[in-house]
């Protein structure tokens, strides 16, 4: 069986079947090993691009009944537009694992479908003055990072570096609305300016003897800025506030 063409979920460009990174936008491409030939296979592929072996469906990172990171009640399978996810019937939160998030990042139609299926609250959210709590990932139980999406959206998400993202009630709708309103493009422009400034600072470093090395991100590359260009989501290597 002929393997389908592979494209970057961030920018949509064609990518080599064994590429760990998009050669155009530099987005990190999540891969697994083919069980037959051990070639690297993108998570989005149904067949190995190298040998054509059909890949077994991948189980979601979070199973039904896993505890909600926010309230501890059991999570259940849910469908939001075209998106299969896990939700908490008690508090209304949503979990997107890595594969689901990357699929949403690469599909503008999927983003529109999800945004149209999410309810709009009757009143704007009220910020509660509560102590910061680092919630456990429902997949591995490790404490998640708290990340201000795009550094300027005001939507603070719980992110597990390895497994995915937890959205409290209405946070996914707010993130997608921020993207639809051009927020991600503005954040990307700001990030490019920050990178240029860091390059200028490094060029002056040998002469001035200053320690101006740019900060490195604590977040994984699959949540990097380059990979989120296609969302309009990549929670960013540079886009997101680093704790």
Q: How large is the average pLDDT for residues 174-183? A: 84
Residue 96, domain member (yes or no): yes
Residue 44 belongs to some domain of the structure: no
Lowest mean pLDDT segment, chosen from 25-29, 62-66, 83-87, 207-211: 207-211
Q: What is the pTM of this model?
A: 0.64
The residue assigned the tokens 């998009």 is 22
pLDDT in tens, 92-125: 999 998 777 777 766 777 788 888 888 887 666 6
Tell me which residue range forms the domain holding 234: 59-120+132-204+211-243
Residue 20 lies in a domain: no
pLDDT per residue as tens digits for the range 137-176: 999 999 999 989 888 888 999 999 888 999 999 999 998 8
Model confidence at 81, pLDDT cuts 50, 70, 90, reads: confident
CA distance 94 to 77: 10
Q: Which residue has the higher pLDDT, 205 or 67?
A: 67
- Confidence at 9, pLDDT banded by 50, 70, 90: low
Residue 150 lies in a domain: yes
Residue 102 domain flag = yes
Per-state percent for the chain, helix, strand, coil, to nearest 5: 30, 20, 55
What's the number of domains the chain is made of?
A: 1
| Residues 171 and 125: beta-carbon distance below 8 Å | no
How is residue 11 annotated by DSSP?
Answer: T
Q: Which two tokens stand for residue 81?
A: 């537009």
Question: Of the segments 17-21, 166-170, 197-201, 202-206, which one has the largest average pLDDT value?
Answer: 166-170
Residues with Cβ within 8 Å of 55's Cβ and at least 6 positions away in sequence, in order, are 32, 34, 35, 41, 45, 46, 47, 48
pLDDT at 132: 79
Domain presence at residue 126: no
Q: For residue 53, is it within any domain?
A: no
């Amino acid at each position: 069986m002929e393997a389908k063409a592979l494209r970057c979920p961030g920018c949509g460009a064609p990518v080599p079947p064994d590429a760990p990174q998009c050669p155009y936008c530099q987005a990190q491409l999540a891969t697994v090993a083919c069980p037959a030939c051990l070639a690297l296979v993108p998570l989005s592929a149904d067949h190995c691009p190298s040998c054509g072996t059909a890949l077994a469906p991948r189980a979601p990172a979070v199973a039904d009944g896993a505890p909600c990171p926010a309230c501890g009640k059991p999570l259940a399978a849910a469908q939001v537009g075209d998106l299969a996810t896990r939700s908490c019937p008690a508090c209304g939160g949503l979990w997107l694992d890595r594969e689901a998030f990357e699929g949403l990042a690469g599909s503008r139609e999927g983003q529109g479908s999800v945004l149209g299926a999410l309810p709009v609250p009757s009143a704007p959210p009220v910020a509660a003055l509560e102590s910061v709590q680092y919630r456990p990932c429902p997949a591995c139980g490790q404490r998640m990072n708290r990340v201000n999406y795009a550094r300027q959206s005001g939507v603070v998400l719980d992110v597990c570096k390895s497994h995915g993202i937890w959205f409290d009630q209405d946070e996914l709708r707010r993130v997608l609305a921020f993207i639809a309103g051009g927020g991600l493009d503005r954040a990307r422009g700001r990030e490019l300016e920050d990178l240029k400034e860091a390059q200028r600072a490094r060029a002056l470093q040998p002469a001035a003897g200053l320690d101006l090395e740019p900060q490195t991100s604590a977040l994984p590359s699959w949540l990097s800025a380059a990979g989120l260009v296609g969302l309009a989501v990549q929670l960013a290597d540079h886009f997101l506030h680093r704790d």
